[in-house]
């Protein structure tokens, strides 16, 4: 059986290093050397392409991105293309769904959306999921304003990869891509929806996310 969720803040971590840490955590979970984990962190600027990504959703050529110090990585998660960088809270979930008797990746995805929506409500932003889309959006927004992207991977019913919540991201952070391959969706952030970024907003968001996931994956 599952025995709760260990939550760890890693600070700002290069994407390749975080990917290696995830792989190690998955194997440790499989071996029973640790329980379920949520790794919270930030990344330096990086564009990642999931299993269903299309090159056309990169608006800026890879060489130009590299010249600006933006890495591009192809990864084994669901979803299309996304951006990670400063001001964005990234969460990698290493959760054994079989141990939780939840062999349903779609149901777990909905749990992740619900936890993020609860955390956002605590920060003063009403948010929810959208039919036919993955992620978390400002409630009632038209066109949809997206606050968080989700892309999960599975290794024998153990999840890895996870979510990215835009907390204080720059307004132009997503200009190089078609985020998640979704046209007609506007990327936003907690700071933008609140009309500004109080000095402690990122720390408050990190605490709210940790509480929401601890409650749902206890």
Active site (catalytic) residues: 180
Tell me if the bond preceding 34 is cis, omega within 30° of 0: no
Rounded to an integer, what distance in angstroms lies between the CA atom of residue 101 and that of residue 167? 33
Q: Which residues of 160-192 are buried (b: 16+ CB within 10 A; e: fewer)?
A: bbbbbbbbbbeeebbebbbbbbbeebbbbbbbb
DSSP 108: H
CB-based contacts of 200: which residues, under 8 Å, 6+ apart? none
């Amino acid at each position: 059986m599952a025995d709760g969720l260990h939550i760890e803040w890693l600070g700002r971590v290069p994407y390749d290093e975080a990917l290696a840490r995830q792989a190690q955590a998955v194997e440790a979970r499989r071996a029973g050397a640790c329980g379920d984990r949520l790794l919270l962190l930030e990344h330096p600027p990086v564009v990642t392409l999931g299993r269903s990504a299309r090159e056309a959703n990169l608006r800026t050529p890879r060489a130009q991105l590299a010249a600006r110090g933006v890495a591009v990585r192809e990864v084994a998660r669901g979803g299309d293309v996304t951006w990670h960088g400063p001001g964005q809270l990234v969460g990698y979930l290493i959760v054994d769904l079989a141990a939780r008797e939840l062999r349903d990746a779609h149901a777990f995805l909905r749990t992740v959306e619900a936890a993020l929506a609860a955390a956002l409500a605590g920060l003063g932003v009403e948010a929810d999921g959208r039919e036919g889309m993955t992620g978390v959006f400002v409630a009632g927004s038209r066109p949809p304003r997206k606050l968080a992207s989700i892309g999960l991977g599975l290794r024998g019913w153990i999840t890895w990869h996870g979510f990215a919540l835009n907390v204080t991201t720059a307004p132009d952070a997503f200009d190089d891509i078609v985020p998640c391959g979704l046209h007609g969706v506007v990327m936003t952030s907690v700071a933008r929806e609140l009309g500004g970024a109080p000095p402690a907003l990122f720390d408050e968001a990190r605490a709210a996310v940790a509480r929401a996931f601890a409650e749902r994956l206890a």
